[in-house]
A and B are shown apart, each in its own frame.
Chain A
Amino acid sequence: MTARTEPQDNISAQLEALLGRNSTVDPSQLQQYAIGPFLPAAAAVPADTGQVAATLEWAHRSGVAVYPFGGRTLSQLGNIPTRPGIALDMTRLNRLVDFQPADMTVRAEAGMTVAQLDSHLSQDAKYVPLAPPLAKQATIGGTLATGISGPMRAAYGLPRDWLIGISVVGADGAATKAGGQVVKNVTGYDLNRLYTGSLGTLAVITEATFKVNPAPTQWAGIAAAFADNNTAIQACGELQSRPFAPQALHLLSPTAARRLGNSDIPSGYGPVAVAFMAGRPSSVRRRVTDTALLWLDAASTLHVSGDEAVQLTESLADLPFQQQDPPSVCVRINAPPQALPKLMDMDGCDLAGALPGVMADVGFGGGRLIWWDDLSDADPTAIAEGIAEIQAGAIQLGGDAIVESCPATVKERIDVWGFEPSGMAIMRRLKEQFDPDNILNPGRFIGGL
C-alpha cells in the first residue's frame, strides 16, 4: 500500500483537470464532506459513470483514497478515515434508467434519493420497501452501501432482499455488473448481497435494479402504552403469535416514545408498542380490529391510518438519525427476537451518567439504544468503556452492536463495529482482492478495513 502524499492544492487541481470545474467542488465548500475530524482534500461530483470510472482510475494511479458520499444521512457511520483522500459525491447520478411496471422491476442510478424512487414507483402503484432513515435525502447507493433498513423490515426484508442487479466501479476504475434485470437469478456468485452493506470498501455503486411489489393500498398504525416492560413484552409476544400479527411491531422505552415528538403517542407512562399494518384494506382492517381487541387492557392507545401511519413509520426510521437535535450516541443492536427482554433492560446502560432510550424491533429482532443527553463534556474514556460493555453484551445475546453515532473523541477510543467476526480472515482477503491498494473508504469498516 503505497500512499503518495500530495499537497492538497495539487490534488484539487488534478481533479479539476480530469473532470472539469463543473464536476469538482470549490475548496471552501469541503466542510460538507467532513467525516468527524477528517476533511477530504478535494471533492468530485461526477455527472455519469464515465466520470466515476475516470476518478477512480486516477485515484488508483495516484494512490489517493476515495470516500464515496450519497445523501450524507449516514456519512458518519464507520471508523475515522485512516488516509488522506477525496470525497466522491454521487448525487448527480440520479436518473431513472428503466422502470418496467409489468415486469415488476426498476433500475435507477445510485445517486437518486429513495424518496424520488418512491415517487416514480408510486405513479404506477408500485413499491420497493427500502424505507431508510431520512428517505428524502438518503440515496439508493448510500442505502445499499450502509445496508441500512427501515421499520417495516420484519415483513418486507432488508434492502439486499430487493436488489436484483447492481453496477459498480471498482477500485481500479473498471465498471462491472452483477445480477441482472430478472427477479430470480443464480447465474454466477451473488455479488448483490456482498456489495450491500460493504460501506463502499469494495467498489462504488453506480446503478441498482430492484424487484418491485404492488404498493400497499392501505396503511394503519396502533400505538399502545403498557404499565411496564413485562406487560408490554407479553402483549407483543401474544400479538406476534397470531395470524393477524402486524407487518411491523416495535417497542419503545418511555424516553424513546417521548422523543418521537408525536403528542398523541401515549407517553409518560410505560413502554409504548407501535404496530404497523399495510396491504389491502380488508387485511389491514382485520389486523387493526383484532390487534385493538388484544390490546384492550393497554393503558391508552392511538390509532392512525393512511398518510398519518406512513408518517409515523418515517418518524420511527428517522429518530436515530435526526439532524436537528441529533442523539449524542446511537448504538444499533443486532440480536435475535428472543433477546427482547434483555434489550429493553438496556435502558439502564449508563454512559457517563446518561441513560438511553430503547427502540426494539420486536418482529425482526434487535433495535437501538439512543442517548440524547449532551455528552460533549463527559469523559470520553468512560463513554468508550460503557460502549465496549454494551458491545460485549450484544455478542452474548447472539448478535453484535454497531455504534452508529458518537462524539469524535469517543470514536477514537472504540471500534465502531464492536468485534472481529469468525469470518474476519475471509473479509480481509475480500478487501485485498477488490481493493489491493486500500483506496476505498480506508480504515472505516470492520476490522479496520
Chain B
Amino acid sequence: MARPDLLTQIRAVVGDDYVIDHREDLLVYEYDGSVDRSMPRAVVLPDTTDEVSRVMRLAFEAGVTVVGRGSGTGLSGGAITPPDGLQIAFPRMNRILDVDTVNRTALVEPGVINLDLDNHVRQFGMRYAPDPSSQRACSLGGNIAENAGGPHCLAYGATTNHVIGMEVVLENGDVVHLGTGAREAAGYDLRGAFVGSEGTFGIATKILVRLLPMPESVRTFLGIFPDIDSACTAVSAVIGYGIVPAALEMIDALSIRAVQNVTDAGYPNDAGAVLLIELEGLQEEVEEVTQEVESALWDTGAADVRIAEDDAERERLWVGRKTAFGAFGAIAPNYYLVDGVVPRTRLTHMLRKVSEVSDRYGITIANVFHAGDGNLHPCMLFDGREPGVMENAMAAAAELMEECAALGGTLSGEHGIGLEKKEFMPLVYSDDDMAAMQRVREAFAPENRLNPGKIFPDGSYYRPSPHPAALTAGLYA
C-alpha cells in the first residue's frame, strides 16, 4: 500500500485517535480466537454508519481489502486480515439504540456485546436467545457474520432465526437495508443470505433483532454418567421421548476436571461425562417433562441426576459449561477446536472416533459440546512450541472432519469455515455447489474486496501459527 495517503484520508474521516497503525498497537488485532495470525496494515475504529461508509469507499477506491472485526472471539480465522489489508473494528459502535416491547425487537449497533444486550432487555421481561459460549465478549456484528449458535439454539435456532433486518455497508461504501421492520419482506431474502456470510458480503452497521419473552419456568439438570457412551445413549433417549429441551450439552471427563480445577461448577470429578439439560416453558409442562427426562437419564445408566435448586445453582452449572475453553488453558497453552456436526444418532460412533484419533495422534482431546444438535467440539490441547505439533493437530482435525462428512454431517455447525476449514469444503460440496455460492458473493461484493480468501478452497497452503500471547506473557515458560 502506498498508503500514507489512504490513512491520512481515513484519519480525516474518523479522527486521528481512531486509526491504529503502530506495530505494537496492532498486536492485539493480528489474531482472533482461532490459531491463525496476520498483522493488518491498520485498524480503523469508526463511530457511525456514515464513517464506516466513507472509510469503505476510500479503501475501495484505493483497491484495499477490508475485514470487519467484532470482538475477535471467532474460531475459524474470520477476522484475520491480510498484511496489506484494513481492519474495521466496532468498539465505539456499541449502542443499544432502541428496545421495542410491543414488537419485541431491539435495534443495536454491531459492537454491542451479546450478553450486554441480553442483560439489558431482561428488565423488560425479554431476552436475546442466541448465547454463544463467548457471549460475555462476542459482539452482535460478529454473531451475524458467523451465524453464531450457542446451547439454546437447540430450541430457538441460531442467530439467523433472530435477525429481522439490517443496515449494511457494501464493499464500495453503499449503505443498504436488508429486510424491513416486518419478519417477512418482499423480494429475495438478502437478510438470510447475509447472516453467516463471514464478512464477505458487507459490514452490518445496525441490526434489528427479535427478542423472546422470558419463560414462566426454567429447570436445569445435571445428568451424571459413568462414560461417554451411556451419556450419548441418554441424548437419544431424551430426543426419543419427543422432548426438545431448551439446551442439551455434554461435557466429558477431561473437561469436567479442567472446569472443576478453576471453578466449582458442581460437576463430580469422577464422572465419565455429564449432560447439562435445560427445560423451559409453562410450569405444568416443565414439571411433566422433568419426570420424562429424569426417567430417560436413569434408564440409560445415569449414576446420578441433580436438579438445580435455585438460580444460583443453575448459574453455577452454566458457568462451568461456558468457561470450559478458558479452563483448558491450565492443561495446555494452545487449543484447536473442531466444530463438526453429525446426525444425532451417530454421536456415539463419532465420539469413539475422536477417542481413537486422540490415541493414534497422541493429542489430548477434550469434548464439550451441543449434544442435542449433534454439534461436536473436539478440542485439541497442545503446546504450540513443540515442533510439528501444530501439523499433527491439523492432520487429526482433518480426519475428524472427514469422518463427520462421511457420516452425513458437515464441517461447521456454528464457528464458520473461515481460513482453517476452507480446503475441506470439497468433502461436502461439489465444484458446482460452491460455484452457486460464489454467485451470491458476486452479487453482494462483485470486486471481492471484503474478507477475501476465506470459506472457499483456493489451494493456498494453510499454515496456522498459534498466537504467541500466552508464550510471551511467560505463562508457560
Contact = CB atoms under 8 A, between A and B. Distances in A.
A161 B440 contact: no
B363 to A, nearest CB: 24
A187 to B, nearest CB: 5
A199 to B, nearest CB: 9
Contacts of B244: 213-214
Given A338-B102, A423-B176, A186 B190 contact: no
B177 A422 contact: yes
Given A183-B374, A185-B410, A429-B443, A400 B186 contact: yes
Contacts of B193: 189-191, 193-194
Interface string A419-447: 10111111101101110000000000111
Contact of B190 (A175, A178, A245, A423): A423
B186 A184 contact: no
Interface string A129-146: 000000000000000000
B189 interface: yes
Contacts of A421: 177, 180, 185-187
Given A188-B417, A194-B193, A433 B439 contact: yes
Interface stretch (B48-56, B157-165, B463-471): B157-165
Interface stretch (B86-94, B314-322, B378-386, B423-431): B423-431
Interface residues of B, number: 88
A362 to B, nearest CB: 11
B73 interface: no
Nearest to B414: A186
A217 B103 CA distance: 30
Interface residues of A, number: 86
Nearest to B103: A336
B436 A178 contact: yes
Question: For A187, A203, A286, A445, which residue has the most chain B Cβ atoms within 10 angstroms?
Answer: A187
Given A280-B285, A424-B187, A187 B412 contact: yes
B188 interface: yes
Contact of B215 (A243, A423, A424): A243
Contacts of B243: 214
B187 A335 contact: no
Contacts of B242: 125, 214-215, 217
Interface in A394-439: 397-400, 402, 417-419, 421-427, 429-430, 432-434
Contact of B182 (A178, A283, A400): A400
B282 A243 contact: yes
Contact of A366 (B182, B213, B442): B182
A52 to B, nearest CB: 15
B185 A187 contact: no
B255 to A, nearest CB: 20
Contacts of A393: none
Contact of A182 (B157, B213, B341): B341
B415 interface: yes
B216 to A, nearest CB: 4
A36 interface: no
B458 interface: no
From B411, B428, B436, name the one whose CB has the most chain A CB atoms within 10 angstroms: B436
Interface string A166-198: 001010001111101111111111111110111
Nearest to B202: A426
A190 B159 CA distance: 12
A176 B430 contact: yes
Contacts of A280: 285, 288-289
B174 to A, nearest CB: 8
Nearest to B436: A176
Nearest to B197: A189
Interface in A85-114: 100, 102-105
A364 B103 CA distance: 9
Contact of A170 (B185, B410, B436, B455): B436
Contact of B284 (A185, A282, A423): A282
Contacts of A194: 188-189, 192-193, 440
Interface string A193-226: 1101110001100000000011101000000000
B285 A279 contact: yes
B291 to A, nearest CB: 11
Contacts of A243: 213, 215-216, 282
Contacts of A104: 239, 344
A287 interface: yes
A399 B182 CA distance: 5
The 9 closest A-B pairs by CB, nearest first: A193-B192, A398-B181, A214-B242, A399-B182, A243-B216, A433-B439, A429-B443, A283-B285, A422-B177
20 contacts: A147-B189, A178-B436, A182-B373, A183-B373, A184-B370, A184-B414, A186-B413, A186-B417, A193-B160, A196-B192, A197-B189, A280-B289, A282-B288, A286-B284, A335-B181, A336-B105, A366-B182, A400-B186, A423-B177, A427-B443
Given A184-B149, A191-B440, A243-B216, 10 more contacts: A103-B345, A157-B161, A178-B429, A184-B413, A280-B285, A417-B187, A423-B187, A430-B188, A433-B442, A446-B186
Interface of B: 100, 102-105, 146-147, 149, 153, 157-158, 160-161, 170, 176-178, 180-190, 192-193, 195-197, 213, 215-216, 236, 239-240, 242-244, 281-285, 287-289, 341-345, 370, 373-375, 408-417, 421, 425, 428-430, 432-437, 439-444, 446, 455
